[in-house]
């Protein structure tokens, strides 16, 4: 080997050091497991898709606490593959902004270098990060309605990129719940209407903190006014269309967000519609108010009166837990408090006593002085669980927080065991109460999805889930003939039972039905027999059948209401 000259030696000493520039080296530079580390403010940035846009209402309190105590709860951080900086993983953008502000004010090193927990970037990183920020913001300071709406709209875009197709509102709600941010489908509908119709017209009002109830009032007003406009235009040429008119009217009220009220918007909108359509203001207002009332009757639970009912007759002790706050007259359908989901318009109508089914028997509620011992309560709780519907404490806490924020009265399984119809069963759509229908489920699309799933799970007990097909008509499913003609009696009975209920939707052309006489096996299918001639439905299957019936009855009621509204 030739001797190095002084010039060669100098060039080697001045050469750049080894650099880890390959993609593999950069990917391996981050830990592959949760790891505590110290980072500086220069290395850490806020999450770009953070749903919080406005200032955190607790900003000053959080800043005062960090100034005095330091950062007691450092936010978790992560880093995208190939990125050169860390980001907040879920929640903590407010704390990061405060640290930057305190560092600028004090130059105190404890605000510049912070100990954080690094968590590796997950496979579904963007979706997990966004839903994590949504959930954490709900727990720490809350979000305005428009911030939540924009966050969910961004989540929808990410989910659709992931699956490669558009998502329905019910599917979006299911995916959000699976990723730790449960929200009702009806709220998603309102949020999408807000982003599409309200945000372009009143951004200042919405970012100023306009609440859910005002937003819902505007959404219902827009739909009712649009219906009134379309029914009166009848193809006549107008100088503007309804969407433009609504936008122009609403935009007038964005200049003074502090004085904003939905009633003022309604007055101005009806006034301009009256002038354009040449219709009396009062007549137009009456039509719009009537349509608004019908929409609320279908989409919202009724408000219960505050009066306390008279004590029930001692001959029916269970009635104490079954009557609502204002007891209906004899022959009127009654339901437990907070159990009605938009059925006031139908259930409040008196019905002949001869056609009224007797209320289900339920154990009387025990007064506090006679409360059952804890062991007995736990035993009774277990007696009502046929298959566990598991959930995490964190998910339950977020669900409860969202329910309190939206004003929903969530049923509690343990609290309701002694007074409603609580039976628990697991599955794709877990059941903790046979009767209660969540507002987000109370749409024909949502009901059909659940009904079809319960039908498949019931058929699965006979290994015949592939004989249940989805349908957009009827109850949401159709029964198809099995691939093999030789079925045991249990399988034929299950299919015959579902076929008898799935009226209104015809199977595909060419599909044949099994003419099994259901009356010969219905009792054995539901009750069993001694000696056993064929299996009976399991307890889980029976609960799902009860739930299917409850949802099917509600679906038919909704369609009857819609038919009455269109014919009226």
Element (H, E) at 156: helix 145-163
- Number of residues assigned to the chain: 568
Q: What are phi and psi of 423, to 5 degrees?
A: -135, 135
Which burial class, exposed, middle or buried, applies to 3 when counting CB atoms under 10 A from its CB (0-12, 13-18, 19+)?
Answer: exposed
Nearest Cα residue to 425 out of 434, 416, 417, 438: 434
Question: Residue 313 — pLDDT band, cuts 50, 70, 90?
Answer: very low
Whether 90 and 76 have beta carbons less than 8 Å apart is answered as: yes
pLDDT, residue 41, reads 92
Question: Residue 348 — pLDDT band, cuts 50, 70, 90?
Answer: very low
Report residue 555 as tokens: 């679906």
The full set of domains in the chain, from first to last, is: 35-196 (3.90.1530.10), 203-298 (no CATH), 444-565 (no CATH)
Q: What are phi and psi of 424, to 5 degrees?
A: -105, 135
Whether 450 and 551 have beta carbons less than 8 Å apart is answered as: yes
Q: Which residues of 323-362 are buried (b: 16+ CB within 10 A; e: fewer)?
A: bbeeeeeeeebbbbebbbbbbbbbbeeeeeeeeeeeeeeb
DSSP 534: S
* Segment 183-200, tens digit of pLDDT: 888 788 888 889 999 999
Centre a 10 Å sphere on the Cβ of residue 269 and count the other Cβ atoms it contains.
22
pLDDT, residue 413, reads 67
DSSP letter string over 296-356?
HHHHSPPPPPSPPPPPPPTT-TTHHHHS-SSPPPTTB----TT--SS-HHHHTSB--GGGP
Question: Rounded mean pLDDT of 112-119?
Answer: 90
Question: Rounded mean pLDDT of 544-568?
Answer: 86
Q: Give dist(CA 459, CA 551) in Å, integer.
A: 17
**For 105-187, where are the E strands, in sequence order?**
113-118
pLDDT, residue 478, reads 87
Query: Degrees (nearest 5) of the Cα angle 112, 118, 119?
Result: 150
Query: pTM of the full predicted structure?
Result: 0.46
Q: Give dist(CA 453, CA 208) in Å, integer.
A: 42
Question: Rounded mean pLDDT of 510-519?
Answer: 57
Q: Give dist(CA 430, CA 331) in Å, integer.
A: 33
Q: Give dist(CA 339, CA 554) in Å, integer.
A: 13
User: Is residue 554 helix, strand or coil?
Assistant: helix
Which burial class, exposed, middle or buried, applies to 194 when counting CB atoms under 10 A from its CB (0-12, 13-18, 19+)?
Answer: buried
Residue bearing the bigger pLDDT, 233 or 484: 233
Element (H, E) at 535: none
Report residue 295 as tokens: 């929409």
Whether 557 and 456 have beta carbons less than 8 Å apart is answered as: no
pLDDT cut 90: percent of the chain above it? 14
* Segment 8-55, tens digit of pLDDT: 887 777 776 555 555 544 445 678 888 898 999 999 988 888 788 778
Whether 491 and 464 have beta carbons less than 8 Å apart is answered as: yes
Centre a 10 Å sphere on the Cβ of residue 525 and count the other Cβ atoms it contains.
23
pLDDT, residue 338, reads 38
At residue 248, does pLDDT exceed 60?
Answer: yes
Tracing tokens 């119809």 back to the chain, one arrives at 421
Question: Residue 339 — pLDDT band, cuts 50, 70, 90?
Answer: very low
* Segment 212-227, tens digit of pLDDT: 888 888 988 998 899 8
Q: Give dist(CA 129, CA 151) in Å, integer.
A: 11
Whether 334 and 359 have beta carbons less than 8 Å apart is answered as: yes
pLDDT, residue 407, reads 62
User: Is residue 77 helix, strand or coil?
Assistant: strand
């Amino acid at each position: 080997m030739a001797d190095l000259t002084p010039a060669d030696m100098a060039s080697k000493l001045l050469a750049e050091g080894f650099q880890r520039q390959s993609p593999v080296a950069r990917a391996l530079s981050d830990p592959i497991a949760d790891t505590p580390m110290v980072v500086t403010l220069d290395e850490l940035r806020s999450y770009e898709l953070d749903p919080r846009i406005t200032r955190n209402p607790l900003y000053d309190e959080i800043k005062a606490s960090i100034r005095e105590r330091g950062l007691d709860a450092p936010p978790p951080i992560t880093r995208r593959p190939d990125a050169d900086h860390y980001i907040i993983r879920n929640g903590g953008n407010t704390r990061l902004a405060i640290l930057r502000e305190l560092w600028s004010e004090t130059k105190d090193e404890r605000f510049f270098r912070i100990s954080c927990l690094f968590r590796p970037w997950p496979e579904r990183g963007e979706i997990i990060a966004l839903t994590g920020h949504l959930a954490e913001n709900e727990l720490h300071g809350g979000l305005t309605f428009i911030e939540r709406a924009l966050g969910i709209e961004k989540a929808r875009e990410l989910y659709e990129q992931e699956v490669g197709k558009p998502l329905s509102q019910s599917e979006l709600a299911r995916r959000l719940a699976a990723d730790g941010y449960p929200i009702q489908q009806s709220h998603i509908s309102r949020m999408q209407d807000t982003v599409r119709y309200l945000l372009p017209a009143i951004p200042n009002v919405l970012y100023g903190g306009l609440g859910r109830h005002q937003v819902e009032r505007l959404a219902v007003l827009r739909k009712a006014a649009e219906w009134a406009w379309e029914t009166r235009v009848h193809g006549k040429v107008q100088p503007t269309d309804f969407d433009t008119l609504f936008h122009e009217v609403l935009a007038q009220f964005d200049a003074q967000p502090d004085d904003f009220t939905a009633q003022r918007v309604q007055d101005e909108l009806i006034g301009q519609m009256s002038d354009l359509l040449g219709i009396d203001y009062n007549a137009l207002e009456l039509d719009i108010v009537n349509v608004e009332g019908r929409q609320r009757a279908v989409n919202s639970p009724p408000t219960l009166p505050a009066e306390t009912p008279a004590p029930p007759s001692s001959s029916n002790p269970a009635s104490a837990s079954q009557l609502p706050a204002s007891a209906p007259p004899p022959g009127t359908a009654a339901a437990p408090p907070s159990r009605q989901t938009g059925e006031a318009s139908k259930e409040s109508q008196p019905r002949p006593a001869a056609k009224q089914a007797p209320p289900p028997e339920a154990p009387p509620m025990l007064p506090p002085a006679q409360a059952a011992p804890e062991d007995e309560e736990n035993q009774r709780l277990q007696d009502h669980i046929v298959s566990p519907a598991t959930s995490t404490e964190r998910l339950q806490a977020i669900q409860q927080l969202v329910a309190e924020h939206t004003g929903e009265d969530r049923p509690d399984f343990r609290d309701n065991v002694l007074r409603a119809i609580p039976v628990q069963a697991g599955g794709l759509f877990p059941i903790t109460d046979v009767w209660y229908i969540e507002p987000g489920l109370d749409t024909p699309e949502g009901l059909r999805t659940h009904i079809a799933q319960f039908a498949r799970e019931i058929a699965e007990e006979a290994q015949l889930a592939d004989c249940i097909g989805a349908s957009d008509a009827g109850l949401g499913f159709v029964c198809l003939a099995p691939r093999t003609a030789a079925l045991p009696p249990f399988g034929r009975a299950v299919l015959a039972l579902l076929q008898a209920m799935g009226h209104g939707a015809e199977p595909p052309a060419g599909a044949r039905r099994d003419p099994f006489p259901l009356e010969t096996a219905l009792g054995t299918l539901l009750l069993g027999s001694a000696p056993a001639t064929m299996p009976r439905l399991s307890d889980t299957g029976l609960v799902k059948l009860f739930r299917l019936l409850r949802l099917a009855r509600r679906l038919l009621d909704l369609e009857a209401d819609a038919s009455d509204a269109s014919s009226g």
